[in-house]
Amino acid sequence: MDGYTAASYGDAFADVYDDWYAGVSDVAATVDLVAELAGAGGRVLELGVGTGRLAVPLAERGLVVTGVDASRAMLEHLRVRDRQGRVAVVDGDMVDDQPPGPFDVVLVAYNTLFNLPSRDRQAACFAAVAARLAAGGHFVVEAFVPEDPPRRGTSVDVRSMTASEVVLSVSVHDPDEQRAAGQFVHLADGRPVQLRPWSIRYATPTELDAMAGDAGLRLAERWEDVTRAPFDADSARHLSVYRRG
């Protein structure tokens, strides 16, 4: 998508993210899992930390949490949520600007890994994480399983509609490149039109496993979601836990 940068998604969605995506995953179960993997007082890095939906409750649990995000708008919302300043914040790229660590757990939640625009950048993320994990540390990846057969072409759908507001979803899908991009067109009575762009490069669990292996990580667990429901051939999502060492 022309003009799309690492900050575009966060800057466009920061004002609605917590309303639109509050229920995308089980926060309490995520905190329980990460706390179990990290151990008491463990060090956690969240990539694409956003508004702190997960990072703040992780810090409240007693973990030492750092969050990286390229969107200053998202980080401003995190700072408002994290009034006690428990989460250390890095304003930067989730590959090139990862802090040195070591970390007991690195978390990339809800498809955020797919915001990286190419296989090379996704593989570089795995390598950067592996270099920062403590021995025995874990990389937790939450993502969707690509459709089979994959969607192709364009689509226009209604995301939501009320008497005074409508949100349209316009998207383009290119399965040959494993890419999808789109806009949420937000129309509200009495307000200017707002465009909320997104762009992803998706990967299968098998492809992610190969990236992990190349980085020196191995798959320790795979569930359908953070509640640890069994993963099978019909699962639309996966929660994969990779281990160093």
Q: How far is CA 44 from CA 118, 141, 155, 212, in A?
A: 25, 13, 38, 19
Distance, in Å, from the CA atom of 19 to the CA atom of 129, rounded to the nearest integer, reads 30
Q: What is the pLDDT of residue 61?
A: 97
Percentage, residues of the chain above pLDDT 70:
100
Binned at pLDDT 50, 70 and 90, residue 128 comes out as: very high
Q: What is the set of domains in the chain, with CATH numbers?
A: 8-146+202-244 (3.40.50.150), 153-200 (2.20.25.570)
Q: What is the pLDDT of residue 190?
A: 93
Q: For 44-99, what is each residue's pLDDT tens digit?
A: 999 999 999 999 999 999 999 999 999 999 999 999 999 999 999 999 999 999 99
Q: What is the pLDDT of residue 244?
A: 97
Q: What is the pLDDT of residue 152?
A: 97
Cβ proximity of 134 and 104 under 8 Å: yes
DSSP annotation string for the chain? -TT--TTHHHHHHTTTHHHHSTTSS-HHHHHHHHHHHH-TT-EEEEET-TT-TTHHHHHHTT-EEEEEES-HHHHHHHHHH-TT--SEEEES-TTTT-----EEEEEE-TTGGGGSSSHHHHHHHHHHHHHHEEEEEEEEEEEEPPPSSPP-EEEEEEEEE-SSEEEEEEEEEETTTTEEEEEEEEEETTS--EEEEEEEE---HHHHHHHHHHTTEEEEEEESSTT-PBP-TT-SEEEEEEEE-
Would the pTM of this model clear 0.85, i.e. be above it? yes
Q: For 219-233, what is each residue's pLDDT tens digit?
A: 999 999 999 999 999
Q: What is the pLDDT of residue 198?
A: 98
Binned at pLDDT 50, 70 and 90, residue 120 comes out as: very high
What is the arithmetic mean of pLDDT over 12-32?
95
Q: For 130-178, what is each residue's pLDDT tens digit?
A: 999 999 999 999 999 999 999 999 999 999 999 999 999 999 999 999 9
Instruction: Give the closest residue to 94 by CA, choosing from 140, 37, 157, 47.
Output: 47
Q: What is the pLDDT of residue 52?
A: 98
Binned at pLDDT 50, 70 and 90, residue 187 comes out as: very high
